[in-house]
Amino acid sequence: MDFTEARSELKQLLSRVVPAELPKLLHWISHSDELDELLLDNRTVTLRSIADDLRAGLPLDAMLPSETAAHHKMQQQPRPTVHVDGFLYNDEQVDSLCEDGTMSRTYCLSCGSHKTAALDFISHSFSVSELQFLFQNVLPDLSGRTLVDVGSRLGAVLYGGYVYSSASQLLGLELSDDFVRLQNNMLHKYRLNDRVQVLQADVRTQDILLQNADVLVMNNVFEYFMEPNEQVKAWRFVMQNFKKRGSLLVTVPSLQESLNALQQEALQPGWVEELPVDYDVSLGRDTDPDALRQIHLYRVM
Ligand SMILES: C[S@@+](CC[C@H](N)C(=O)[O-])C[C@H]1O[C@@H](n2cnc3c(N)ncnc32)[C@H](O)[C@@H]1O
């Protein structure tokens, strides 16, 4: 049954409900966990299984000791910040790790006292619900198109693109050898190599690849991993090479926010135009509406 048929059946069903009970039913539809399982299809189950495998081979914070720039950047945040990878851990898993004391949402303000404050969590990967939103609500049909994920890390965008889209090619570029190895293990284990490839490379060496890409995904690629002057060079490189008219760019956060932080507001006039995104969708209680709003879509002009 498609959306139109389902809507008409739902309206018929609602018209038969005792009027006094209707508000209770509508409240249950929009707030109950009981419907979440309906949103869990095979594709989501595959992603969860990949996440289980990845989690088993990574430390709790899913960061490598070699990521010195990222560790340093996190220590410089105004409030204590920890990395909790959104692809590996959903809210329910974080709650249970907090309950058994493995993880904490708070830190102690004065050692030994019960005065605590909330820790800031950041994620270096898209969560499963963000991936679903990206491929089903933000991007158009990707049949015949090539998508490049700049900084593919654990491979979340590549696996998400495999299960939720018809993209012909999904290419990951990643600086870290270790993460490339981890992604290749998953591609092999889950037999995703027919449409997915990962390359160990700095995006700044990949001019031809950028010139041929139809969709570029840039989820907080540079901010935590490169010094500001290097970030400016990387953005320039991307702008000079990703310029096939009509190709699509997805960024987190907005391009404006990234460039403002580098004081490079004037870097991109006329490169891309922002396209509207409908953020008003419900993908289950695991979805963080604020995180979805960070996802921006642009078209190369
Ligand atoms: C925030 S993670 C993005 C993860 C993934 N794209 C996602 O959305 O789930 C950024 C990744 O970009 C990589 N990276 C940073 N600078 C890069 C560069 N110049 N070329 C390739 N990868 C880069 C980092 O090593 C890091 O793993």
The answer to whether position 214 is within a domain reads: yes
Residue 11 lies in a domain: no
Q: Evaluate whether residue 170 is within a structural domain.
A: yes
Check if 219 has its Cβ closer than 6 Å to any atom of ligand 1: yes
Domain that residue 51 falls in: 43-122
The answer to whether residue 9 is domain-embedded is no
Q: Does residue 117 sit in the same domain as residue 143?
A: no
Domain identity same for 144 and 114: no
Phi, psi for 262 (deg, rounded to 5) = -100, 5
In tens, the pLDDT along 254-282 reads 999 999 999 887 777 789 999 999 998 87
**175 three-class SS:** coil
Regarding the beta carbon of 174 and ligand 1, being less than 6 Å apart is answered yes
Domains in the chain, number: 2
Are both 135 and 117 inside the same structural domain?
A: no
Query: Which residue's CA is the closest to the ligand 1 atom numbered 1?
Result: 124
pTM across the whole model: 0.86
Residue 274 lies in a domain: yes
Any ligand 1 atom below 6 A from CB of 298:
no
Q: To 10 degrees, the CA torsion angle through 259, 264, 270, 276?
A: 20
Tell me the pLDDT tens digit for each residue of 17-75: 999 999 999 988 887 777 766 766 889 999 999 999 999 999 999 999 889 888 888 88
Q: What CA dihedral angle connects 46, 51, 53 and 58, to 10 degrees?
A: 170
Say yes or no: CB of residue 242 within 6 Å of ligand 1.
no
d(CA 182, ligand 1 centre) in Å: 14
- 152 plus 242 within the same structural domain: yes
Regarding whether 288 and 155 lie in a shared domain, the answer is yes
Q: Tell me if 226 CB under 6 Å of ligand 1.
A: yes
Could you read off the pLDDT of 188-205 as tens digits, one per residue? 999 999 999 999 999 999
The pick from 175, 202, 295 for probing ligand 1's pocket by mutation, whose C-beta has the most ligand atoms within 8 angstroms, reads 175
